[in-house]
Amino acid sequence: MKAIHLLLKIAKIKEDIAMAKARKVAQQAADTLRFQGQVISYAKEYENQILEGGKAGTKVAFIQDADAFRAKLLESSRAMDKQVNDLQVGSKAILEDAMKAKMKSEGLSKLVDKDVKNEQKKREKSEEILFEDLLASRSGTQTGTKNA
């Protein structure tokens, strides 16, 4: 096996690894965004409970506790913003690396295909020459061995 074929196999493995890594990071970013949405939703629910509790005459201590928890939920949601942003930036960088690996793999694949075609042409040319030699030797008038 030629070195270019080994390079192609290595490039394809690197491409697969890079694409899997990109999918994983993109999935992490999506999961974090979904979780952040849930946290914000919970904070809104607590806000609604606080408003309804104020109308219904709920104890102030409960309203204060609910408001403090709502504030912590919103604070954790803001903290997730940086994490989501970092994951998205990382995802873009990893995706760029994966695309580079894919382009390299495609380029090597084209070279391997070209090499295979050249080898096939060489074999065909060799067979053609061999066939012509066989025809020439059979049609020749001199057969056997020459005088020693």
pLDDT tens, position by position, 109-131: 998 999 899 999 999 999 999 98
Q: Examine residue 91 and state whether it is found in any structural domain, yes or no.
A: yes
Check whether 142 has a pLDDT greater than 70.
no
All residues at 6 or more sequence positions from 14 whose CB lies less than 8 Å from its CB, including other chains? 101, 104, 105
pTM of the full predicted structure? 0.62
Structure confidence by residue, pLDDT tens digits, 88-97: 888 888 889 8
DSSP state of 57: T
Structure confidence by residue, pLDDT tens digits, 48-75: 888 887 778 778 888 888 888 889 988 9
- For residue 12, what are the domain limits? 3-107
Percent of the chain with pLDDT over 90: 23
Q: Examine residue 31 and state whether it is found in any structural domain, yes or no.
A: yes
Number of domains in the chain: 1
CA count, 13 A, side-chain hemisphere, 45: 7
